[in-house]
Amino acid sequence: MDIAVAGAGYVGLVTAACLAEKGHRVACADVDIEKVMLLQRGMSPIYEPGLEELVRKNRERLWFTTDYAAAYRRADVIIIAVGTPEERDGSVNLRYVWEAAKQIARTVEKDCVVAVKSTVPVGTGDELARWIAEHRKHPVHIEVVANPEFLSQGTAVNDTLYASRIVLGVESSHAEKVMREVYDPFALPYVVTDRKSAEMIKYASNVFLALKISYINDIANLCEIVGADIGAVAEGMGMDPRIGPRFLRAGIGYGGSCFPKDTKALCHLASRCGYELKTVRAAIDVNEKQKLKLIEKARTYIGDFHGREAAVLGLTFKPGTDDIREAPALANIAVLLEEGANVKVWDPVGMDNVKRIFAENLTYCATIEEAIANADLCFIFTEWPEIRQFDLCQYAALMKTPLVFDGRNCYDLESARKAGILYESIGRKQVGAAESAVLVETDER
């Protein structure tokens, strides 16, 4: 099929590359000239494992352009995969979705299906269908379908090629038939429903995962108080098939472009309808407080951060991506800088993005060893393999005082004890707490 994709961001680019991999001819349109030129040279503008290789492999069937008219004019299916940023009140800004709709209405010259893959409020597909029907330039039949995505950054290519399901929100058998032609080569199960239900499936799925994360973090905080171990608790819970083990890793909260935005958007939608989603509101509150959990722990040992040498390991919101949107590291770095700490940071792929926010206020290190050298304390915010595999004895050998605050539970407690470091994690016992009192007392003298 001839398919056009509006938007070359995470969702649009991965979708376009995977559709080309399955044999479709795909045109991906974006307004960013530099991004398009980079893609035309076979280079990915984002860090996503396997994506650049897929783009290069399918160059004969995949092309990139800023000329949306050329991309949309004769397409069988046009996929809208543009950004839907968050407004201050938690609502969704749909300006890019509507801009794509206007471009489609002006340029399409044959019957086609418009599939909305962007995450949009329930009812948006119905509004788009009415508007496009009223404003199309040519006498063609254009149907709108809700086709939400469920990919995760860091595993986006695999999540698309081997998805758990394809959700189609359609209002006619014709639209369903066309969309099945798009996805049949993937050989995946379908959920076929109406547009509004498909849009709700996306929100309900993402928000449920956010709820699960906030719940296990809440339980982890209680574990610390009562002396239980969150690792054992999560393992015991996860073995129950009704619960499952995924998204039960305690830590310092979720980040990224989806969970923070989607939880707020669903609460905003419910509020507009006169309904309060109390569980979702609680998940948001828990997550916001959880982000600064390590700062709170560190204060009990060193008081304030003025003049302290602080190492920060991991800047992205999760491993496998260079995305720092809503990353817990950012909020913590801001506190450290505000209170006068000297901050050294390390991340394998995220430092260039962080430089755009903090510029030269941070010291950017090429290695973990460089970041922790002579540090008074160390914070871990992302569970990169390089961090998980790092020799714990190096903390004791290189740091001025081996105070390690781990927001992702990267290390075994006994290994931390043997390494001779003070080690604080989430929902687990302290390691080396008695020795820390000596360190702080000496520092104060």
Q: Is 258 a catalytic residue?
A: yes
Phi, psi (5° rounding) for residue 143? Answer: -105, 145
CA distance 302 to 131: 60
* 47, 349 Cβ separation under 8 angstroms: yes
In this structure, which long-range contacts are made by residues 329-334, counting pairs with CB atoms below 8 Å and at least 24 apart in sequence?
329/354, 329/379, 329/381, 329/382, 330/354, 330/357, 331/291, 331/292, 332/291, 332/292, 332/294, 332/295, 332/379, 332/381, 333/358, 333/362
The answer to whether 291 touches 332, Cβ cutoff 8 Å, is yes
Q: How far apart are CA 146 and CA 141, in angstroms?
A: 17
CA gap 80, 116 in Å, rounded: 5
- Residues 389/382, Cβ–Cβ less than 8 Å: no
Q: Which two tokens stand for residue 157?
A: 């290519």
Catalytic residue among 258, 365, 378, 410: 258
What are the φ/ψ torsions at residue 378 (nearest 5 degrees)? -135, 135
Residues 316 and 350: beta-carbon distance below 8 Å: yes
**DSSP strand pairing (112-116 vs 142-146):** parallel
Active-site amino acid positions:
258
